[in-house]
Structure formats: C-alpha cells, structure tokens
Amino acid sequence: MRVLGIDPGLRNLGWGVIDVAGNRLTHVANGICHSDSGDLADRLLSLHGQLTAVLRQWAPEAAAVEHTFVNKDAVATLKLGQARGIALLVPAQAGLRVGEYAPNAVKKTVVGVGHAAKVQVDHMVRLHLPGVVIAGPDAADALAVAICHAHHLQSSGRLAAAVQRAAG
C-alpha cells in the first residue's frame, strides 16, 4: 500500500510518500510545496495545484494529515488552518480516506516520545527509511505522518482480522 503523509503549512507544506508491505516501509518520494507571499487565495490555489500534482505523480492509496496546534497568534493559526484545509481536500478529491493525527501522536509512534524534538523525528525517520534523502524539516515531518498512518493502518487491520476470526 502506498501512503502519503502531509505536514500542512501555508508557506511550506511538506509531503512524503512511502510504500508499506507487511512490516516493511520503503521511501518513495518526499518534498515541499512552497507558496510565495501574496494574496491568501493565490497561495492556497498554488498549494492545491502542487499537492494535486504530487497525488497524480505518486498515486497513493491512503493519506494522512497532521493536526495543527493553536498558537498565540490567532491570525497565523487561522491561515495555517486554511492550508490544512487544502491538505485535507486534495486527497479527498482523489477519493482517498484521510487520517488525521496530533503532532504528539506522530512523535510517539515514530520516536517513542510524544514531545520529541524535530531533530529526533528526522533521525528516526532516517532509521525507518534507510538511505532516504529528505527535502527539509517539513518533508521529514510529513514522512513521520505517513509512518504513523502506516502503523495505525496495520494495527487496525490486525484488530479487524482478529475480530473476524473470533466471530467466525
């Protein structure tokens, strides 16, 4: 199964694609969609177009987006939320169900600690995906989201299989 992870951002929207075969994770691609300064609508349109191209090129079967956290700057939080809307919309337009994960859940899954630093996340992503060349911190976070989603999909699949075996 091919999984797309997205780390939403208005200026830098990170994305990462991995393949999942059993317990084996393989890096496929990663990058960052950039939007220039200017009108908010134009920036969102740019992110939409770039992320749509990523989906077209890499054809994921599942997607996940990191939740945003609220900070003290309400205007910045609102703009980030709009970029997150694009991150949810594009995979949904492609017919994918989109998982959503809190940053602490992603860090706990990938690093083992919910309040891990960015360098720890980057390091553990590199351990999970040997030989990966990461486009930047936003792409590393997006790969971590994809890894988190892969683990949750595997866990829910095992649970569903166990329930089916117990019922049958």
Taken in order 46, 48, 54, 56, is the CA torsion positive or negative?
A: negative
Q: Is 29 helix (H, G, I), strand (E, B) or coil?
A: strand
DSSP 68: P
Consecutive H or E run containing 15: strand 12-21
Which pair of structure tokens corresponds to residue 120?
């720890």
By the 10 Å C-beta count (0-12 exposed, 13-18 middle, 19+ buried), 119 is classed as exposed
Helix-strand-coil percent breakdown of the chain, rounded to 5? 55, 20, 25
Which pair of structure tokens corresponds to residue 29?
């691609």
Residue 113 CB neighbour total at 10 angstroms? 13
Residues annotated as part of the active site: 7, 66, 138
Contact in structure between 33 and 54 (CB atoms under 8 Å): yes
